[in-house]
């Protein structure tokens, strides 16, 4: 398709190749390391769940024991495999024994590599089967009851109480929502464990737990059947438990997950080594289970200027795309993020936003682009806020975005009330329907404001990527080139949970999932 923005294909290719080399060089680092959360994920996928008597999740109990004894470099799968072989017990029973102090891994007889793999096999198969059943169920729903038109209407619920969330989510579905995200309670990203069970207490959001996922999934399936379209569920595979939550999401059929190491580094001060290693396994799981991941580039524009720093968003999208390629994720599952965050008082701001949104679509033609609403310049004037959201919705339908996180007219006042969500859905539905094919009808003036804006952002992004390639991703982040936030390589939270793998290390899920195992 001919570029409406007259973008230079050569520049796009160069930017993409640069990003590819950046991601590959990071992958060499990733492949040499594992993390506590990666290992806990393996346990969860082997069926380990529940907590000990002081409510520490069993995956944490087992992995922390190995970490304290300096044995984690072999990978928890080796220990569990040899315990199954020796004791003829399940991973869950073995973990309970470790927790009760009735099993010490060191007391086990050494086991041959083949026997470890053989012992693990039935549990791996069962786990992958559960995930496949869920992806088939999604496909079945899409085939039978179908789905809403793109851009999908994406809303959030954030009551803190999963049962109250269900009420709000179901109402949102009846009002027209296609995707419901359950916002997490503040600071969950910094917990180095996943809480257990259904929860009713959270601030600004609800805990991400496997039970909460299950409760919301059932509610959305029910509501989806009532309205006759599949409703996607979204949560956060991010923070210190990134891959664990990806596994829980795969098992409970989440459809969309926010997942972006760069976001965690910059905005949650999570250690960069830790979260880049975590991200890899989480993306492998996401790719395997048909989840759309959302990257968090839009957030750069809440701290940095949306006009001046637009190229950092594009550069980061290129890098996120290449990380996803390395985890074998399909383009359609790449929910690369960007946002409508320019100062509304800027002359021609709408033209620049439009240029950038169309640019993202042309550069990532098959990606499920996630477009985020205005937040930074929302004032509490709800009437003006509704217009800002309308402008955002118009750009979205015009440029063919995929996932439209709806702007709330009460942004900057409170977490959305039920009527705020209804008004947001009404606003977007009106504009999307009323201007459905606008994008196909309109071309842009050669060398006009819109073309030139997109060309400049691309050119700057390419230059930035070449810099990053030279410097390396770690030092680029250290220098504060994304979002204007500087983070040291050895700083932030979670570095203690990073371990160099030894030669016997085993993570049986990665090759199977990347190979698309049935």
Residues near another protein, by CB under 8 A: 160, 167, 170-171, 173-175, 185-187, 189-190, 203-204, 267-269, 302-305, 343, 345, 375-377, 379-380, 412-415, 417-419, 422, 484-485
Q: Which residue number, 119 or 177, has a Cβ lying nearer to another protein?
A: 177
Q: Which residue number, 333 or 410, has a Cβ lying nearer to another protein?
A: 410
Distance from C-alpha of 32 to C-alpha of 501, rounded to nearest angstrom: 6
Q: Which residue number, 34 or 199, has a Cβ lying nearer to another protein?
A: 199
Helix (H) or strand (E) holding 514: helix 509-514
What is the secondary structure of 274-342 as a DSSP string?
A: HHHHHHHHHHHHHHHTTPEEE--GGGHHHHS-TTTTHHHHHHHHHHHHHHHHHTT--GGGEE-EEE--S
366 three-class SS: coil
- The CA-CA-CA angle for residues 165, 171, 175, to 5°, reads 140
Where would I find the beta strands (DSSP E) of 110-231? 152-157, 179-182
Going by C-alpha positions, the residue among 347, 340, 285, 342 that lies closest to residue 38 is 285
Report, in Å, the least distance between residue 493 CB and another protein: 10
- In the chain, DSSP finds a helix count (H) and a strand count (E) of 20, 11
Contact between 416 and 373 under an 8 Å Cβ cutoff? The reply is: no
Report, in Å, the least distance between residue 489 CB and another protein: 17
Distance from C-alpha of 269 to C-alpha of 287, rounded to nearest angstrom: 26
Residues 6+ apart with CB under 8 A from 70: none
Sheet hosting strand 337-339, strand order edge to edge = 334-335, 292-294, 256-258, 232-236, 179-182, 152-157, 403-405, 370-372, 337-339
Q: Which residue number, 25 or 419, has a Cβ lying nearer to another protein?
A: 419
Report, in Å, the least distance between residue 16 CB and another protein: 30
Report, in Å, the least distance between residue 105 CB and another protein: 36
Report, in Å, the least distance between residue 501 CB and another protein: 31
Report, in Å, the least distance between residue 165 CB and another protein: 13
Q: Which residue number, 376 or 501, has a Cβ lying nearer to another protein?
A: 376
Distance from C-alpha of 223 to C-alpha of 230, rounded to nearest angstrom: 9
Is 154 labeled as catalytic in the residue annotation?
Answer: no
Please identify which residue in the block is written with the tokens 């259904």. Answer: 198
Report, in Å, the least distance between residue 167 CB and another protein: 7
Helix (H) or strand (E) holding 67: helix 58-68
Contact between 259 and 233 under an 8 Å Cβ cutoff? The reply is: no
Going by C-alpha positions, the residue among 346, 319, 373 that lies closest to residue 18 is 319
One of 123, 207, 263, 288 is an active-site residue; which one? 263
Q: Which residue number, 413 or 438, has a Cβ lying nearer to another protein?
A: 413
Q: Which residue number, 139 or 343, has a Cβ lying nearer to another protein?
A: 343
Q: Which residue number, 212 or 402, has a Cβ lying nearer to another protein?
A: 212
Is 298 labeled as catalytic in the residue annotation?
Answer: yes
Is 370 labeled as catalytic in the residue annotation?
Answer: yes
Distance from C-alpha of 300 to C-alpha of 312, rounded to nearest angstrom: 8
Distance from C-alpha of 139 to C-alpha of 247, rounded to nearest angstrom: 19
One of 4, 74, 170, 370 is an active-site residue; which one? 370
Report, in Å, the least distance between residue 90 CB and another protein: 37
Contact between 406 and 430 under an 8 Å Cβ cutoff? The reply is: no
Report, in Å, the least distance between residue 134 CB and another protein: 26
One of 192, 260, 298, 420 is an active-site residue; which one? 298
Q: Which residue number, 167 or 495, has a Cβ lying nearer to another protein?
A: 167
What is the number of alpha carbons within 13 Å of residue 129 lying toward its C-beta? 7
Going by C-alpha positions, the residue among 180, 222, 185 that lies closest to residue 200 is 185
Contact between 477 and 487 under an 8 Å Cβ cutoff? The reply is: yes
Which of the residues are catalytic?
263, 298, 370
């Amino acid at each position: 398709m001919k570029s409406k923005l007259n973008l230079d294909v050569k520049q796009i290719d160069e930017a993409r190749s640069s990003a590819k080399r950046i991601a590959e060089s990071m992958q060499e680092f990733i492949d040499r390391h594992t993390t506590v959360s990666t290992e806990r994920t393996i346990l969860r996928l082997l069926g380990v769940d529940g907590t000990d008597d002081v409510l520490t999740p069993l995956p944490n109990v087992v992995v922390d024991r190995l970490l304290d004894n300096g044995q984690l470099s072999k990978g928890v799968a080796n220990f569990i495999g040899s315990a199954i072989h020796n004791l003829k017990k399940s991973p869950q029973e073995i973990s309970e024994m470790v927790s009760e102090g009735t099993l010490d891994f060191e007391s086990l007889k050494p086991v041959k590599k083949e026997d470890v793999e053989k012992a693990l096999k039935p549990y791996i198969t069962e786990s992958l089967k559960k995930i496949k059943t869920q992806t088939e169920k999604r496909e079945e729903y899409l085939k039978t009851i179908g789905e809403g038109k793109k851009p999908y209407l994406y809303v959030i619920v954030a009551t803190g109480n999963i049962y109250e969330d269900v009420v709000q989510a179901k109402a949102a579905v009846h009002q027209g929502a296609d995707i419901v995200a359950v916002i997490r309670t503040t600071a969950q990203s910094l917990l180095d464990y996943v809480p257990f069970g259904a929860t009713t207490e959270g601030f600004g959001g609800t805990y991400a737990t496997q039970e909460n996922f299950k409760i919301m999934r059932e509610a959305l399936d029910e509501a989806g059947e009532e309205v006759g379209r599949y409703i996607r569920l979204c949560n956060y595979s991010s923070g210190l438990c990134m891959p664990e939550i990806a596994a829980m999401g795969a098992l409970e059929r989440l459809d969309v997950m926010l997942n972006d190491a760069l976001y965690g580094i910059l905005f949650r001060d999570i250690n960069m080594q830790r979260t880049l290693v975590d991200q890899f396994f989480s993306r492998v799981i996401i790719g395997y289970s048909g989840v759309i991941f959302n990257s968090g580039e839009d957030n750069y524009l809440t701290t940095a200027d949306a006009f001046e720093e637009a190229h950092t968003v594009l550069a980061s999208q290129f890098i996120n795309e290449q990380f996803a390629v390395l985890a074998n994720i399909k383009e359609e599952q790449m929910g690369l993020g960007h946002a409508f965050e320019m100062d509304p008082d800027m002359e021609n701001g709408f033209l620049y936003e439009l240029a950038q949104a169309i640019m993202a679509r042309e550069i990532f033609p098959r990606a499920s682009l996630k477009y985020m609403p205005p937040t930074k310049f929302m004032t509490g004037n709800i009437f003006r806020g509704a217009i800002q959201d309308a402008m955002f919705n118009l750009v979205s339908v015009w440029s063919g975005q995929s996932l439209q996180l709806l702007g709330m007219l009460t942004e900057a006042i409170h977490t959305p009330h039920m009527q705020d969500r209804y008004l947001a859905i009404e606003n977007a539905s009106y504009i999307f329907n009323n201007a459905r094919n606008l994008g196909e009808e309109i071309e842009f003036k050669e060398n006009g404001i819109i073309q030139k804006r997109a060309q400049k952002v691309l050119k700057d992004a390419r230059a930035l990527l070449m810099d990053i390639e030279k410097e390396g991703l770690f030092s680029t982040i250290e220098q504060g080139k994304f979002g204007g936030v500087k983070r040291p390589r050895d700083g932030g939270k979670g570095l203690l949970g990073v371990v160099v793998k030894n030669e016997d290390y085993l993570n049986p899920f990665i090759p199977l999932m990347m190979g698309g195992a049935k």
